[in-house]
Chains A and B, each alone.
Chain A
């Protein structure tokens, strides 16, 4: 007779939710609580969760549980979406708002990488540069980029330059630290092997240190992209004439909550999309990550 595992029956819902009980999965493992390998899926539940949230949204607005001024119906948000997509909001279509936001982070992030990665390399390779830059980088790193908004506005006004400068500062420290740690993580035997195979210092840098650091640089890029996306939206809330952040800020002044919610949904989706894109790029460009 096939018997269930001990404790299968009579597990309370709370116990099961925290993984201490069984959902009746067909596994021969007797130890699952604490086994990280046993908690990998759950995709079915993701679909249910998303569906549930949507249904809740539909039902709550259909029955007007909340005043639409505070929380719009999904239909209203959809209509705004179609409207803004084609006719635009505040002189720009939705695509243009998204485009402006993306343009800003790509420039700011790009400059951040351009300066931060070589800086991190120098910090990982030279005692002098490490000594000089370490206190600076470690000081600026924990400061939220938003704290620089007043300063960059004083420096370069409310135009594009100030936002790109802000994003540059947001990405710079992250990239410098990622590159530094990538350089420092190279195993000495690889460096020794390369020199013994006749590589010059430049060749060791180009063919050993750089590829060895790439996975960590990529992790830094993923983090920096996330931070930049959050920062650009916030910067647009403060001062801008375009962008997704500007769109929701402007809408809130007129209590057009449906545009605000639409903006929030778009911000979430794009942030999620950026992370997925970076992961795909990572798998494609640095497949050797963690395989050393």
Chain B
């Protein structure tokens, strides 16, 4: 397992370097009246390996790829070149961070970022004159 050993974060490695060895998952982001939606491709990530965090207005998505590899495997070709995914977004003030919901299915992370009540769009009826 020496050549394709797990990439454990080492204490001596500065955070910035560790971050550079993560892949940037592709995302789709769209908006509905009451919420924003983020969909990210993170194949290989299980519930245990996933972390979704909001710190202030910063949303961090991180996931560890959990694939069991046989002993003594050597890589001959690699398009995925990291053990983990990471991506961050800044949120706007109308997002209700406490109410964010996450779902992970078949390696796809779906986030629902609800808007605070008073920011929800309201349909304005047009009165007849």
> Do A and B come from the same complex?
no
